[in-house]
Amino acid sequence: MQPLVEIRGLDHHYGRGQLRKQILFGVDLTIEPGEIVFMTGPSGSGKTTLLTLIGALRSAQAGSLRVLGGELVGTDDRQRVAVRRRIGYIFQAHNLLSFLTARQNVEMALELQPDRDRAAIRDRATAILTAVGLSERLDSYPDNLSGGQRQRVAVARALAADPQLVLADEPTAALDSKSGRDVVELLRTLAHERGTAVLVVTHDHRILDIAHRIVRMEDGRLESQRLTPAPI
């Protein structure tokens, strides 16, 4: 089965001339379908930069970065947008729109997908919010939800379109232990049942036990340690 993420010799830098600073050095990483990978390391080590490159949120510069079967090095904005639409994102700051209800925030993500009519979008948003335990808060606005509930909406939004790849940047940082555990258990279920690959950037040692593998970023270089066998 083809890896969903396959990175070879990836370098990345910011700035030009004398201000040029290299952030990533020869990164190699492969993530298989159904695999859960956690990335740890100190602040400023390049974790979020790598996550945004994998997510096609910025342009990859050198090396090889294949995501969902396609090479991202050398792509233009239009090609990266097409890839982004096939990936689910969960951010530490949930990034919900305050003027939309929980259901409307999820519906907005589904409206980017082709061939979905309005009724199907509403039904899917309702179903995924129910699955994350928010069946009674469908019409609540973010300001009326707890931090854990807002993050659940963000998770539902990321998962609504059944992405093959989910990228999460510190998804439990603002949550208590129970809410954080609930979030990662949802990701584990998705990986197990649907073969979704999950990459989580985290400092939260409470959730590391669900990973198949933990990779550590240090000064822009990646080290890998497998904990459990990768899914077949």
Q: Which CATH number fits the domain that encloses residue 169? A: 3.40.50.300
Residue 11, pLDDT > 80, answer yes
Q: Taking the mean position of all CA atoms in its chain, how far away is CA 168? A: 3
Over range 169-198, report the average pLDDT: 81
Please, which pLDDT band fits residue 86 given cuts at 50, 70 and 90? confident
Q: Is the pLDDT of residue 182 over 60?
A: yes
Residues 117 and 49 in one domain: no
Q: Quickly state the pLDDT bin for 230 (edges 50, 70, 90).
A: low
pLDDT of residue 214: 92
Q: Are residues 123 and 145 in the same domain?
A: yes
Residues 10 and 56 in one domain: yes
What's the rounded Cα separation, in Å, for the pair 165 and 87? 5
Average pLDDT over residues 128-133: 85
Last residue of a domain, one of 158, 183, 201: 158
pLDDT at 114: 64
Residues 12 and 28 in one domain: yes
Q: Do 53 and 146 belong together in one domain?
A: no
- Give the pair of three-digit tokens for residue 199: 């990459």
Find the mean pLDDT for residues 63-92: 88
Residues β-bridged to residue 89: 167
Q: Are residues 169 and 206 both part of a single domain? A: yes
- Would you say residue 102 has pLDDT above 90? yes
Q: 201-214: per-residue pLDDT in tens?
A: 988 888 888 899 99
* Mean pLDDT of all residues belonging to the chain: 86
Tell me which of 219 and 111 has the higher pLDDT.
219
- Percent of the chain predicted with pLDDT > 90: 29
β-pair type (36-40, 197-201): parallel
Residues 24 and 121 in one domain: no
Q: Structurally, how many domains does the chain consist of?
A: 2
pLDDT at 105: 93
Return the closest-CA partner of residue 31 out of 167, 180, 155, 134: 167
Q: What is the pLDDT of residues 104-120, one digit of tens each?
A: 999 988 886 666 778 88
Quote the pLDDT of residue 85.
85
How far is 80 from 129, CA to CA, in rounded Å?
28
Query: Do 123 and 37 share a structural domain?
Result: no
Domain boundary among 128, 158, 188: 158
User: Do 151 and 105 belong to one domain?
Assistant: yes
**Cα separation of 191 and 99, whole Å?**
32
Q: Is the pLDDT of residue 2 over 70?
A: yes
> Which two structure tokens, joined as six digits, stand for 155?
């998770």
SS3 79: helix
**Of 74, 56, 52, 71, nearest in space to 3 by CA:** 71
- Verify that 81 and 99 share a domain, yes or no: no
Confidence grade of residue 226 (pLDDT, cut at 50, 70, 90): low
Beta-carbon contacts of residue 206 (< 8 Å; ≥ 6 apart): 172, 177, 180, 181
* DSSP strands (E only) in the chain: 5-14, 21-31, 36-40, 62-67, 70-71, 87-91, 165-169, 197-201, 213-218, 221-226
Residues 224 and 45: their CA atoms lie apart, in Å, by 15
The domain in which residue 200 lies consists of: 1-86+163-232
What pTM value is reported for the model? 0.85
Residues 122 and 138 in one domain: yes
Give the separation between CA 50 and CA 62, rounded to whole angstroms. Answer: 13
Instruction: Determine the average pLDDT of the residues in 39-49.
Output: 88
* Whether residues 209 and 183 fall in one domain: yes
pLDDT at 99: 93
Report the pLDDT averaged over residues 124-131: 89
Cβ–Cβ < 8 Å for 63, 11: yes
For residue 22, what pLDDT is reported? 83
Cα-trace Rg, the chain? 18
Asked if residue 54 has pLDDT above 90, the reply is: yes
Q: Of 126, 158, 190, at which residue does a domain stop?
A: 158
